Amino acid sequence: MARISLGADRFEGEATAHEYRGLEAGDILYFAQSPPILPDSDRAFLVTQKQVDASYHKNISYRPLEDRLKGVDQKDPAQVERVHQIMRDYSRRAVAFMGTFLKRYAASWRLDFASFRPIEEAGRQVSLHSRNDLLHFDSFPTRPSHGDRLLRIFTNIHPERERVWITTDHFESLADKFADRVGLYRKPGVLDSCKDLTVKAAASMGLPVVDRPPYDRFMLKIHHAMKEDSRFQETCRKDRWEFPAGSTWIVFTDSASHACLSGQYALEQTFIIKRSSLFAPESAPIAVLEKLAGRSLARSA
Ligand SMILES: [Fe+2]
């Protein structure tokens, strides 16, 4: 995995074919100086926000399509409204920047959530599967991607301190190691079909279950299996990346393994990228898993 550094002269205009390909292959597109997506006054206000119950709310989230804010530990309605306005503006600016810089994806992407991460990552007490400091590929438990890709832009808005990540091998190199463990090579049987039908029926009745296609089920299982494997976490090859205060980076977090070891105050906007808009759809995680499995994983049996 590599970090491709870009200067302020790249704030306008589109990424090159080399940069798109690098990004899709698991590299990090990195701006030491962030594109203009957050005014100083908004940054100064956000870093005063604290989360009281850090174990419950992982982040403050903003849903741009619904203009909805969640997770703010703040009783004062005026303060809540200010956070809401800042997140709304941040999300719009991040989307506008990405819409130019990664224009190829923008016509068909789906806009996902934005988040503000006010909690220090080092030493956080959360459940094993929620831990950010263990290497993983992203998979959203409640929002199946159906084989489309998870692209994220992060900005470290801490006034001084860096945000520290480690990464290990790319999805393509690690998929086989975990595929057997999560049952990818087992052919679906009658029981699986019955289970699928039950979930589908429950979802259509409005019950709180998530109807995931096989691809999303395997990605979630791989996410959990990686975090549960302490030997893998300790012994795998690692690269360490420091993202200084004021920097921005863009990464496909479903194929670039990552863990956040330390850092406080980051902003992030997620995009779901259509597979058909990729330079290399054959390297997408769904294509890698389907090749290993020898069958389609796109929808339920
Ligand atoms: Fe992640």
Q: What is the domain partition of the chain in residue ranges?
A: 3-293
* 3 Cβ contact partners less than 8 Å away, ≥ 6 residues apart: 27, 28, 30, 241, 249
State in Å: Cα 207 to ligand 1 middle: 27
Are 273 and 152 a contacting pair, CB within 8 Å? Answer: no
State in Å: Cα 252 to ligand 1 middle: 10
State in Å: Cα 240 to ligand 1 middle: 15
* 238 Cβ contact partners less than 8 Å away, ≥ 6 residues apart: 135, 166, 167, 168
pLDDT at 160: 95
State in Å: Cα 138 to ligand 1 middle: 5
Residue that the structure tokens 């506008």 belong to: 96
State in Å: Cα 136 to ligand 1 middle: 6
State in Å: Cα 296 to ligand 1 middle: 26
* Residues with pLDDT less than 50, the chain: 55, 301
State in Å: Cα 122 to ligand 1 middle: 15
State in Å: Cα 13 to ligand 1 middle: 28
C-alpha–C-alpha distance, residues 38 and 42, integer Å: 6
Residue 45 main-chain phi, psi, to 5 deg: -70, -45
pLDDT at 214: 93
State in Å: Cα 167 to ligand 1 middle: 11
pLDDT at 58: 65
SS3 109: coil
Are 300 and 203 a contacting pair, CB within 8 Å? Answer: no
> Smallest Cα–Cα separation from 103: which of 95, 111, 91?
95
C-alpha–C-alpha distance, residues 266 and 156, integer Å: 5
State in Å: Cα 115 to ligand 1 middle: 12
State in Å: Cα 200 to ligand 1 middle: 28
pLDDT at 301: 44
State in Å: Cα 150 to ligand 1 middle: 10
* 5 Cβ contact partners less than 8 Å away, ≥ 6 residues apart: 30, 31, 32
Q: Residue 219 CA to chain centroid, in angstroms?
A: 13
- pTM (2 decimals)? 0.92
C-alpha–C-alpha distance, residues 111 and 101, integer Å: 16
